[in-house]
Structure 1
């Protein structure tokens, strides 16, 4: 399936970034608040291991889950998990490499119609793979930005843009707003036009797909994105846009 191939390609690209980091790079602050570069990679390793656990039905080790039991939310749980297992790149990097290979293998082998528990809602393997692509891409920006490492957009953003648009009803509800139909008309990195949502929707978000995905990842403010939001629900949709359900 295309999403699994694209997920693996994104992992490979990020692996090349990690392979080129110096000892000083690993401990520099990332754009993820409170986390160094190696902390971000630890978080990705941990969540890849969680993918394998949920897809295969193998529970995480008790000592891994324990820090998260009384956390106020997903962000706090993830921060505690990283703090509980913080380590150097000599341990974290190979851990992530093993976890990402196991994650892709588990997703490819899973029943495509079977849902697995994840964050706020159970997901099928293809959608779970899309969330992993979205998370790795967003955290790649957290790492490569401060280190001034080029990380250009690719057509794989189409999966992330689809996820952000698909998550709009959830995003509306989370913000206390009644969901409404919204169409996205985006320009991909290759110049192609990507359309999501009903053709007759009277609310539209349009502009570069990279900006759309960055707003959804909360790596770019909607007001600074250059995106256009029209119709009765377009501005609200742009304000609440998110690439994840948590």
Structure 2
């Protein structure tokens, strides 16, 4: 990808992220699938079921279904996906895993084949295929943490986080709007797992967030509270940006 902060191919990195999660899931015992995840109210099996369901929604969107993620007025994305999981809870873990594998491969194939300027309907707004793939990478990464952390398993951070950090920065105007706030430009200077510095935004922006890219992504996924991070904020809007940061729709 040639967009600032996304030098590697997003489709290849989405495939690699799913492969890493697949490796984690393949080693789980039957008891582990029934354990509580870090996603409130969901078991490990529920989390993987959710990923399978949303990959199936992605396939429908790629096929042109503009109502693939439709929901009733007043129903949040979180509530909608929780209802989907509840409706199919209890499917054997082996079936859930194979369902996710089929769906994630089909969704990725579909995204690769999309014209670059096509707009795909999704939870909050239509997305380009590359941004759509970035959002899917962000969701798989966050839910991998939900699975690995309570089980005491390692899920190493990689430079694929660059895409998620880019997404978090890119959607700051949306995050501020959801919070009913206005803010000026914010730039980020983040250190990736390999030690590279990733810069996003106007280099002259007066507000700056700097520090760990992994922490930035965890805050955006609501897996870390901003006040518990080591990230530094400077300028009039940086601290507020970190507070409203999100890598997902609502």
Q: Which of 3, 9, 12 does residue 5 from structure 1 map onto?
A: 12
Is the 8 Å Cα contact of residues 71 and 77 (structure 1) preserved in structure 2?
A: no
- Structure 2 residue 87 is the aligned partner of structure 1 residue 84: yes
Match of 1:172 among 171, 176, 179: 176
- SS of the residue aligned with 2:40? coil
1:158-204, Cα deviation, whole Å (9 max, x unpaired): 00000000010001111111132000000000000000000000000
**Aligned counterparts of 1:59 and 1:26: Cα–Cα separation in 2:** 33
Structure 2 residue 28 is matched with structure 1 residue 25: no
Equivalent residue number for residue 39 of structure 1: 46
Structure number with greater CO (CA < 8 Å, separation at least 6) is: 2
Question: Given that residues 26 and 37 in structure 1 are in contact (C-alpha distance below 8 angstroms), is that contact kept between their aligned partners in structure 2?
Answer: yes
The equivalent residue for 2:192 is: 188
What are the Cα deviations for residues 75-123 of structure 1, in whole angstroms up to 9, with x where unaligned?
Answer: 0000000000111202211000000000100000011101011111100
What is the Cα-based RMSD across aligned positions, in Å?
1.6
Counterpart for residue 201 of structure 2: 197
1:222–1:51 Cα change, 3 Å: same
TM-fit CA distance, 1:213 = 0.2
Alignment of structure 1 residues 114-129 onto 2, 5 Å:
114-129=118-133
What are structure 2's unaligned runs of at least 5 residues?
A: 2-8
Q: Is 1:72 matched with 2:79?
A: no
TM-score normalized with structure 2 length: 0.93
Indicate if the aligned counterparts of 1:7 and 1:132 stay in contact, CA closer than 8 A: yes
Count of residues in correspondence between the two structures: 242
SS in 2 for 1:145: helix
**Does residue 99 of structure 2 align to residue 109 of structure 1?**
no
Q: Any stretches of 5+ residues in structure 1 without a counterpart?
A: none
Matched, 1:146 2:146: no
Cα distance in structure 1, aligned partners of 2:162 and 2:35: 31
Contact kept? 1:182, 1:202, Cα under 8 Å = yes
1:180, 1:59 → 2: CA distance?
A: 33
Give distance in 2, aligned partners of 1:102 and 1:155.
Answer: 24
